[in-house]
A and B are shown apart, each in its own frame.
Chain A
Amino acid sequence: MEAQVLYFFQTFWNIFGLWNIVWSYIEPIWPLIWNLIKIVVIIIPLMLGVAYLTYAERKILAYMQVRVGPNRVGYYGLLQPIADGLKLLFKELIVPIKANKFLFAIAPVMVLAPALAAWAVVPFSDGLVLANINAGLLFILSMTSIGVYGVIIAGWSANSKYAFLGAMRSAAQMVSYELPMGFALVCVLMAAQSMNLSEIVYGQQSHLGILGWYVVPLFPMFVVYFISGVAETNRAPFDMAEGESEIVAGFHVEYSGMGFALFFLGEYANMILIAALTSLFFLGGWLNPFDGWGIVGIWTSWIPGIVWLLFKIFFILFLFLWFRATFPRYRYDQLMRLGWKILIPLTLIWVVVVAAWMQTPYWLWSPEPR
């Protein structure tokens, strides 16, 4: 890939006969430029995805509520996210008079940046990954945890009681649900015997197709991971951090214009990230679900892996929106009860079950030697 891109640049500059001069300047920093190119290639589709996820959310929610949703800007309202973005961009930035200006400004960035940074280790297809590091799973866990700081700082620095209440709720919630999430992932890494995200997907590759994915033996963990993921991203029905009908917007009440937009970008980027991780850990990432299923497997073998991954991400994102359309908000004590008294014991039991299961010959999901 790198050679092709270099060749493209070379032919482009050779039109002017300048390649040798240009190359002598950029050669020392080429690795940096190459990484920047890769980052841009990941971030721009992600940002577009975020924009159109808001559109999809409004449209799907509308249809589930027997409405039509946005349909005025462009065909079927397709330009609505762009109109929203422009509107937020041109709005006045209001900073509360007693706010801590520095923290107030840095909080939205602290929410958005980890959500983007975590994409570095997400493999999109066989070998298509920005940083193929061995402890990718740990990197993901640490990055998603940093988001909590952004939320707390946003709530505290605004010097508003609603923002502070929202931040406290949100922080407690995110910390509580990190635990079942971690335990669910312990099961995954026991099964895959690796922390590298690509290795985890390879571990699910088998002649069984969909049956070889970890969603089959670890189905309860899949459910727990997904529920925790919904709680972690502060989405309905666990959205009391935002709690539109009680504390107006929670930790970002005092933000306006682009600051507010950054929180939204962060929230939706996190949703996409959770969807991608769920599909990588449990739904076989870029693997074909019909792999090895005789004729169906051969028919579908031409579909590139990234299409399967995107398809799985869309499915999980649809579940997010479906939940929002269906479930009323949890009460705060119910949320804590679910996290600490149900999900954590459940995951602990399943860790033991999987550990015992793996010692028996009935465990069919060991990574195949490559």
Chain B
Amino acid sequence: MEKIIHLIKSFTLWELLKGMAVTWRYMFSRNITIHFPEEKTPQGFRFRGLHAQRRYANGEERCIGCKLCEAVCPALAIKIETEERADGTRRTTLYDIDLVKCIFCGFCEEACPVDAIVETRILEYHGEKRGDLYYTKEMLLAVGDKYEEQIAKDRAADAPYR
């Protein structure tokens, strides 16, 4: 009996018609596409986008050149060189992030004891020639200066959970 039902089902293409009914139904359902440049998905305050270096309110850069981020970086994207400054503090002379290598894991941010290196919400950036995505210390600081307000707000929102 089961065999006969199977035979009838396969010769009337029953299962295939059922499948086609599903796609037919879906053709009239609402699209879930986000039309990107016009519409954007909501971002969390922990979004990990373009990197930035922060400064203190008095304009002093936060980074103390401890190289923890360099050590933790799984993609070896960070390169740091340090020296002693005239006032006796240790500062970086070189702080490069190769964004082509970076996997945006956020470990550098986690490792940083002074919240100097952070990842911002910026995701729409690009490079037009080779080397454009190799960010030096000056570029990172510039990003930090530009978006400091947003960065500070996101850090504050995250603070209770740390």
Residues of chain A whose beta carbon lies under 8 Å from any beta carbon of chain B = 60, 63-68, 71, 223, 322-323, 325-327
Contact = CB atoms under 8 A, between A and B. Distances in A.
A223 B26 CA distance: 24
B24 A65 contact: no
Contacts of A68: 31, 33, 35
B157 to A, nearest CB: 33
A326 B26 CA distance: 11
Interface stretch (B14-22, B75-83, B112-120): B14-22
Contact of A326 (B19, B32, B35): B19
A223 B13 contact: yes
A67 B31 contact: yes
Nearest to B22: A326
7 smallest CB-CB distances across A and B, nearest first, come from A326-B23, A64-B23, A68-B33, A326-B19, A63-B27, A325-B23, A64-B27
B29 interface: yes
Contacts of A64: 23-24, 26-27
A63 B33 CA distance: 10
Contacts of B35: 68, 71
Given A64-B26, A65-B26, A223-B13, A326 B31 contact: no
Given A223-B13, A326-B20, A327-B19, A60 B27 contact: yes
Nearest to B10: A342
A322 B20 contact: yes
Interface residues of B, number: 15
Contacts of A327: 16, 19
Contacts of B27: 60, 63-64
Contacts of B30: 66
Contacts of A223: 13
Nearest to B30: A66
A66 B16 contact: no
A40 B16 CA distance: 40
A64 B27 CA distance: 4
Contacts of A67: 31, 33
A60 B19 CA distance: 16
A326 B32 CA distance: 19
Contacts of B29: 66
A338 to B, nearest CB: 10
A131 to B, nearest CB: 36
Interface string B15-53: 010011011101101111101000000000000000000
12 contacts: A63-B27, A64-B24, A64-B27, A65-B26, A66-B33, A67-B31, A68-B35, A223-B13, A322-B24, A325-B23, A326-B23, A327-B16
Contacts of B16: 326-327
Contacts of B20: 322-323, 326
Chain B CB within 10 Å, residue with most, of A65, A67, A71, A326: A326
B15 to A, nearest CB: 10
Given A64-B23, A66-B30, A66-B31, 11 more contacts: A63-B26, A64-B26, A64-B27, A65-B26, A66-B33, A67-B33, A322-B20, A322-B24, A326-B20, A326-B22, A326-B23
A184 to B, nearest CB: 16
A334 to B, nearest CB: 12
Nearest to A319: B20
